[in-house]
Amino acid sequence: MPKAILELEMPESCRGGCPFYKVCDICDILSSWNYHMPVYTPSEGRRPDCPLKPVESG
């Protein structure tokens, strides 16, 4: 089955414009993968298990 590719600007940090970030410091997409238990974002940088990955150009 083909995968969909969503092209977004890569945020430098979870709190810096990520579309999955909630105001209460929770990552919406990781929380949904965790049976809707809150997954908190770091105050700086990104989580190592972030689903947003840089796309290799080429």
pLDDT digits (tens, 9 = 90+) for 14-58: 888 888 898 899 999 999 999 999 999 999 999 999 888 777 765
Taking the whole predicted model, whether its pTM rises above 0.85 is answered as no
Instruction: Judge contact between 15 and 43, C-beta under 8 A.
Output: yes
Number of structural domains the chain divides into: 1
Asked whether residue 24 is domain-assigned, the answer is: yes
Alpha carbons 40 and 8: distance in angstroms, whole number: 21
Asked whether residue 56 is domain-assigned, the answer is: no
Asked whether residue 54 is domain-assigned, the answer is: no
Asked whether residue 3 is domain-assigned, the answer is: no
Asked whether residue 33 is domain-assigned, the answer is: yes
Q: Which pLDDT value is given to residue 19?
A: 87
Q: Which pLDDT value is given to residue 1?
A: 61
> pLDDT class for 9, splitting at 50, 70, 90?
confident
| Domain interval for residue 17 | 11-47
